[in-house]
Each structure stands twice: as C-alpha cells, then as structure tokens.
C-alpha cells in the first residue's frame, strides 16, 4: 500500500483547490483496507474517490485521507438479467457506458456525474430525476466497527442528496437492480450527453453543483439565475454563465474565494426569496482552523 504525505490536495479535487495533505493512504486490496481499521474509525478521516463535490482548506487537511484511486477490486459484473455488481472505485460514467454497450436500461443518468460509484452512494447522487439509491439492492460496507458487512437497501434511509451513513465508514461494493419494466433506448444516453454539453461547463475546474435544490419544484440554479449575477467573480472563482449552480476555478482560485462566493450568493437568495440554500459541496478544514 502506498502512503504519501505533504502533497498538494488540488489534484485530488475536480475544482482544483486545497493546501497540503497529511497522510494519504492508497489501499489496493481488501486486506489493505482492513489494515486501516484504526484510521477508518477516526471520524476525522476522509475517503476520496475522483474528488468531485469536495474542496479542502487553503491551509490543507492535516488528518488522514484514504484514496480509492488505486483500489484493485474495481470491477463491474452483470450477475444476471436482474442485477449488476459494481465496486465503489468504478466511475459513474464507466458504469453508464458499459450498460449502454450491453443494452441495459436505467443507468444513463449516471453518465455525466463526475465521481465514483462510492461517492455517488455516499451522497445519493443523481440527475434527470433519478438517484442512484433508487437502483440499489444491497451494499457491501466497512461498518463503524471496522468490519465488512452486507446491508440491504431497505435498511439504509436515503432521500434527495442524503444517505443515512450512521453505521457506514466506507462503501466497498453495490448490487444494483436492473429495472425490467424499462426498455433500452439507444438514443437516451446520447440525448443526456448532448444536454449536459449544452448546459454544463464540461472541462472546467468545478465541483459540480454547489447548492442542493430547495425542493422538487424549485431549483437552486433558477434562483441564482434570477439574480442576474452570471460570471460574478471573487478572486479566482466565478459563477458559470452556462450553469449558474456551477462555480468555476480559473486556475488561481482558493478555498477562501470559494467560500466567499458561496456566502455571497446564499445571502442574495435569502434576501430576495427568504430561502436558505444548503451546500451540496463538502468543504473540509483542518483542526487548527
């Protein structure tokens, strides 16, 4: 197992901000993960995959991190006509593409989500009115005691961008249900891809959506758009003109810039609509802050 220390956390986030790291562990097997039991049960330890939806303080994060980027148990297997097994280190896009090649319907919505399956499970990621926990049959986890356990989806509560992880330290694998009622539409993934390319700032340093939608009927982007502040910039972080719930790093942005812009937008929305926007992005600070 590789262990690194005092390296820039920028390259471990899709928004490309963050200071220096503490220890970063790169487990390559279940045995490696098991050997990190004491690290896993430390509440300050952070698990990272592709680094979307997260940002680190400019002062860095001095506690332990575990990266699944080198985890070798990264596989997708179509068990039968009803079930797919996917390890947590697999990217959402890779799963969507495999299902497309095999004409399996129901997973096209994952294609444009920039993170891993493990990250998607942790926050109930989704798009186009679908979320990953709508498809989950069971998950294999490392529990709070540091042991491997298989849990039915019926025993884990989930809702919009929320998963009750009170007994979960790490998602290792998931069994996904194939919806036999859905018919495979070859054009659907291409339609979703085209829509994303037209409406989202693909290829920019971004964490994805900054805020959760206040409700099913009200989107955070519609509220921000109504403020007429597209491309508002603080430091090196600015609001995307293509999708105003995406904040972009021009390469010089800092975590302080990001927080300032988040607070600025939140205050404007609260003042105009009396609606409190809640962050979708997780911002991690060291113990000294």
Which pLDDT tens digit goes with each residue over 89-113? 889 999 999 999 999 999 999 988 8
CATH label of the domain that carries residue 53: 3.30.43.10
Please determine, for residue 289, whether its predicted confidence score (pLDDT) is greater than 50: no
Residues 87 and 167 in one domain: yes
- In the predicted model, what is the mean pLDDT of the chain? 92
Residues 26 and 84 in one domain: no
Domain count, the chain: 3
Q: Clarify whether 280 is annotated catalytic.
A: yes
Annotated catalytic residue within 44, 94, 161, 285 = 161
pLDDT computed for residue 186 by the predictor: 85
95 in any annotated domain: yes
Q: Are 207 and 54 in contact (CB under 8 A)?
A: yes
Please name which of 141, 119, 143 lies closest in space to residue 132, comparing C-alpha atoms. 119
User: Which domain-ending residue is among 18, 47, 67?
Assistant: 67
| Mean pLDDT of the region 73-86 | 86
Annotated catalytic residue within 99, 173, 255, 280 = 280
Please determine, for residue 24, whether its predicted confidence score (pLDDT) is greater than 50: yes
Quote the CA–CA distance of 182 and 105 in Å, as a whole number: 6
83 in any annotated domain: yes
CATH label of the domain that carries residue 145: 3.30.465.10
Annotated catalytic residue within 92, 209, 244, 255 = 209
189 in any annotated domain: no
Domain that holds residue 52: 2-67
Q: Clarify whether 285 is annotated catalytic.
A: no
CATH label of the domain that carries residue 237: 3.90.78.10
Please determine, for residue 71, whether its predicted confidence score (pLDDT) is greater than 60: yes
pTM for the model stands at 0.87
Which pLDDT tens digit goes with each residue over 158-214? 999 999 998 899 999 999 999 988 888 989 988 988 988 999 998 999 999 999 999
Residues 31 and 61 in one domain: yes
Residues 163 and 210 in one domain: no
Please determine, for residue 279, whether its predicted confidence score (pLDDT) is greater than 90: yes
């Amino acid at each position: 197992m590789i262990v690194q220390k005092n390296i820039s956390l920028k390259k471990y986030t899709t928004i490309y901000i963050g200071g220096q790291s503490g220890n970063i562990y790169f487990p390559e097997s279940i045995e490696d993960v098991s050997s990190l039991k004491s690290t896993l049960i430390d509440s300050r330890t952070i698990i990272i995959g592709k680094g979307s939806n997260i940002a680190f303080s400019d002062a860095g994060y001095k506690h332990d991190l575990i990266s699944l980027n080198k985890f070798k148990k990264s596989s997708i297997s179509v068990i039968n006509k009803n079930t797919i097994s996917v390890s947590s280190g697999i990217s959402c896009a890779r799963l969507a593409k495999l299902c497309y090649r095999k004409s399996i319907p129901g997973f096209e919505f994952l294609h444009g989500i920039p993170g891993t399956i493990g990250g998607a499970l942790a926050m109930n990621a989704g798009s186009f009115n679908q979320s990953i926990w709508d498809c989950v049959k069971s998950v294999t986890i490392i529990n709070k005691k540091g042991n491997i356990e298989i849990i039915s989806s019926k025993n884990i509560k989930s809702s919009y961008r929320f998963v009750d992880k009170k007994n979960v330290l790490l998602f290792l694998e998931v069994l996904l249900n194939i919806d036999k009622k859905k018919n495979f539409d070859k054009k659907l993934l291409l339609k979703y891809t085209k829509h994303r390319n037209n409406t989202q700032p693909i290829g920019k340093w971004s964490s994805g959506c900054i805020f959760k939608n206040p409700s099913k009927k009200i989107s955070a982007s519609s509220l921000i758009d109504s403020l007429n502040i597209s491309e508002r910039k603080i430091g090196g972080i600015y609001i995307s003109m293509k999708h105003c719930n995406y904040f972009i790093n021009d390469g010089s942005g800092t975590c302080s810039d990001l927080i300032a812009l988040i607070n600025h937008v939140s205050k404007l929305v609260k003042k105009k609509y009396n609606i409190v926007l809640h962050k979708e992005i997780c911002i991690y600070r060291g113990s000294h802050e």
